[in-house]
Amino acid sequence: MSTDRDVTKEYTTEQNIQKLERLIESLREGKAFEIQVDNERITVPAGAEFTVEHEREGSSHELEFQFRWND
């Protein structure tokens, strides 16, 4: 049984590059993507919905790349 969760994890530029390269490889191959965030292993299925979200509040911006799927 899963519980609700909302976690933000910050990585170094090199760590981000490594994760994005693995993500790109998974997308190209049509395979699931696995990532560990704050001690939890997450598998994003190959057919997950992908969206890009931009938020602006005054001079502050936030850009999110999101995958959505159901268990």
The DSSP bridge partners found for residue 10 are: none
CA distance linking residue 68 with residue 54, whole number of Å = 16
Report percent pLDDT > 90 for the chain.
82
**Domain edges within the chain:** 13-68
pLDDT at position 1, please? 58
Beta strand ranges found along the chain (DSSP E) = 33-37, 40-44, 49-57, 60-68
CA distance linking residue 64 with residue 62, whole number of Å = 7
Q: Going by DSSP bridges, is the β-strand pair 49-57/60-68 parallel, antiparallel, or unpaired?
A: antiparallel
pLDDT in tens, 7-41: 998 999 999 999 999 999 999 999 999 999 889 99
Q: What pTM value is reported for the model?
A: 0.80
The DSSP bridge partners found for residue 38 are: none
pLDDT(2) > 90: no
